Structure 1
């Protein structure tokens, strides 16, 4: 059995998180996690390169030990800060010839949408389909295996993000010795937090972290709008520091253990002693005292979100609100939200074993995005080999051209493209027996299955030998006209280099 693992890297303001998982029925089976707290990141931006790099390295080690999987390739998420969402359409024509639609057709459409001039000073991060239209008649979510004679069209959303943020994240991850398979915006990832009914009716996901509170609105099953505000958990702690004359660590611990977001439900009986900054005598504070401060900050945050949604024409959220993220751990946050809105409210906590905390929502959603796009485009992201043959040296002309036009992204693209081509050549040179020998299998005893809503007797959906051979055959095809790298192995940031 060939295992196919996905690894998500979440570089957050409070901590770096890694989740290792695999597809399990219609969800994700988490087999290992890692988390390292760091001060190297603030509001989605890396502000201390070395600290962030060491946190990534330490977290990867923890995830390796927990999962028993050797990790060298990851999916990375980027925050919604400085994100813009636009929409475009593309179509391919079949000229009356009956054609069975496959992943290559879908990939071509999405790549053509990516070529549109959306980015400006930003960079295209994600292109996601809103709907496909077959022969101008059938609007579907996934057209694979359908027959089209005239055309296949797509309505797609395009997420662009700040170029500097992207550069620093990529450089930091690669400095930690990892290869980035793909990058997904939280704006796209949050769709996996919603039920089908919520996403269809119109729902808002609110992710309250340490420095940023991100939110995204989905309607009719797809992303419509996303933004962020710079008020979150750190602001709560700082206000507690000021109000109760204590240290940051004392205030943060009190917030997590005794804090309450809804003053009306907070208790006068729960008490905590806070060390004072200018006195040897600690101050005794109740949960209700803490709630008086916490409620004000969270309410201001939520009101800022409501005002932003209203300013962008989003006034009807029939699917309700979903709260998640580390700050959603504070007691009473659901009740406070319900006091402010008429729609239903729930707090999302992942149900995967080992990651049952709201702060792991974003990382697990990255895994879901990786699986979703793999299935949609019909290609595999896992690297089956430990290393690549050494590449031939560049010619002097190549070096001169790279010196004239190259930048960090150009170099990254050249390296990834070269490795990809070497991979294909190596695949072609090996027969089926040697191909089998090259696989590295993890220790099955180290894999711990998480509970699933489906019956325990159901089997995993695994990739077969035939699937792997088909992937190799796909990689032999000629590159597409517009920017395809010539393989089905997902690579990072095509748009940055074309």
Structure 2
């Protein structure tokens, strides 16, 4: 259940930086401000120029502040899944206080015990997610505080990532005049926020098609089990159009948005449109079918790389199929092409928030929603990772103080730049519960 308060999400993408301000009342999300600025200083999802990235963040934040009528002080920022590793962890402690009642400090201590591991110097722990606790042999406990026990155990997942990526993101946020309220693994937020309970339990694949990279994530048994990042995305489709048709990048982007389709058989070779070609005075005529074939070639390559990684863990046998999202997924014909290549059910996820009904906003909305639903137990475990003390008795953290909130019908989908039935196979149902036993070996 989402905690009441104001939350701000920041998604640093290759082609655009998005900021969403949301107010939660009775666990309902109300979007009150959106910012969307063209990215600079980012290549294939990785920050390569801190100063340019800071300026882009500031532009997006300013837009969101003007729409929401607030001053943004801190944000929950998304972390890409590049080189992300997921490992199971387990810790056990003896309850120290005389009454043997389990307190906040006991949860912190058992989380610290679960993190006793060797982490390479170039990596750091990003997040620790408690899955369940055991008190004196009684299993399946989600929050042990207030219970009586002698021995406390915790089972969870620990996520580690490259220090360079984490440091650069944090540095850019701080240089933009903000503080990081929460660092959210974007793939984890996506799978948690976009999938139903059944899809999380039985297994579903989420493919996020961004501008500079495509991220594949697998959720099974209500846990993020696997991630894979391909350094290609919608921007590469635009570059292909630009090179093949010998036109500018901006013209190629306009062609993709206005005439593009990823499934050539849906298009006509008789329908033509003008294209301004570099070095020629008059435009040339290009038909829809030819443009679709250019688009299909790149997207097919992206999907086949994702399929190779999924085949290694037999994830395509999961009954939940595939959920596509991200700006590049909004191109017509993408779902049809994906179904042909993956051989399973594919559906497109579109956010249902007014003014943000475009897959390009799925990431930032998921970041906000995930942050609002984090439990007290998570924050206690997080304090074991960061070393910071948390006060759970205080009111929920508010990332921005509203002065004159603006509840209007702003349609942020007009601003974005580049990104314009579960399948049940009876012969594999017996394998569902042990698909990923080899991942953690």
TM-score by length of 2: 0.81
SS in structure 1 of the partner of residue 315 of structure 2: coil
CA distance in 1, matches of 2:93, 2:249: 58
Structure 1 counterpart of 2:204: 203
Structure 1 counterpart of 2:274: 273
CA distance in 1, matches of 2:257, 2:103: 49
CA distance in 2, matches of 1:27, 1:310: 38
Give the conservation status (yes or no) of the 8 Å contact 1:209–1:326. yes
Structure 2 counterpart of 1:59: 60
CA distance in 1, matches of 2:367, 2:92: 28
Gaps of at least 5 residues in structure 1 are 382-412, 425-431, 451-498
Q: CA deviation at 1:95?
A: 7.8
Q: CA deviation at 1:365?
A: 1.4
Structure 1 counterpart of 2:402: 442
Worse overlay, 212-221 or 25-34? 25-34
Give the conservation status (yes or no) of the 8 Å contact 1:95–1:149. no
Q: CA deviation at 1:275?
A: 0.5
1:12-31 to 2 correspondences below 5 Å: 12-26=13-27, 28-31=29-32
Structure 2 counterpart of 1:318: 319
Structure 1 counterpart of 2:257: 256
Deviation track 1:280-318 (CA, whole Å, cap 9, x = no partner) reads 121222322211111121111111011012224535221
Q: Which has the larger radius of gyration?
A: 1
1:350-361 to 2 correspondences below 5 Å: 350-361=351-362
Give the conservation status (yes or no) of the 8 Å contact 2:4–2:25. no
Give the conservation status (yes or no) of the 8 Å contact 2:41–2:48. yes
Q: CA deviation at 1:82?
A: 2.0
> Residues 120 and 440 of structure 1: is their aligned pair in 2 closer, same or farther, counting only changes over 3 Å?
closer
Give the conservation status (yes or no) of the 8 Å contact 2:247–2:278. yes
CA distance in 1, matches of 2:317, 2:102: 36
SS in structure 1 of the partner of residue 371 of structure 2: helix
For CA contacts below 8 A with separation 6 or more, give which structure has more relative contact order: 2
> Residues 138 and 98 of structure 1: is their aligned pair in 2 closer, same or farther, counting only changes over 3 Å?
farther
Deviation track 1:120-142 (CA, whole Å, cap 9, x = no partner) reads 421111212333334433325x3
Structure 2 counterpart of 1:124: 125
> Residues 270 and 39 of structure 1: is their aligned pair in 2 closer, same or farther, counting only changes over 3 Å?
farther
> Residues 103 and 296 of structure 1: is their aligned pair in 2 closer, same or farther, counting only changes over 3 Å?
farther
1:229-308 to 2 correspondences below 5 Å: 229-268=230-269, 270-308=271-309
Give the conservation status (yes or no) of the 8 Å contact 1:27–1:368. no
Structure 1 counterpart of 2:340: 339
Deviation track 1:75-97 (CA, whole Å, cap 9, x = no partner) reads 11111112222221113334898
CA distance in 2, matches of 1:104, 1:350: 39
Structure 2 counterpart of 1:178: 178
Give the conservation status (yes or no) of the 8 Å contact 1:211–1:230. yes
> Residues 150 and 144 of structure 1: is their aligned pair in 2 closer, same or farther, counting only changes over 3 Å?
closer
Give the conservation status (yes or no) of the 8 Å contact 2:6–2:400. no
The total of aligned residue pairs comes to: 398
Q: What RMSD in Å do the two structures reach over aligned CA positions?
A: 3.1
> Residues 114 and 351 of structure 1: is their aligned pair in 2 closer, same or farther, counting only changes over 3 Å?
farther
> Residues 445 and 363 of structure 1: is their aligned pair in 2 closer, same or farther, counting only changes over 3 Å?
closer
Q: CA deviation at 1:53?
A: 0.9
Q: CA deviation at 1:236?
A: 0.9
Give the conservation status (yes or no) of the 8 Å contact 2:32–2:405. no
Give the conservation status (yes or no) of the 8 Å contact 2:130–2:378. no
CA distance in 2, matches of 1:448, 1:291: 37
SS in structure 1 of the partner of residue 72 of structure 2: coil
Q: CA deviation at 1:442?
A: 2.4
Structure 1 counterpart of 2:84: 83
CA distance in 1, matches of 2:307, 2:103: 41
2:55 is aligned with 1:47: no
Structure 1 counterpart of 2:153: 153
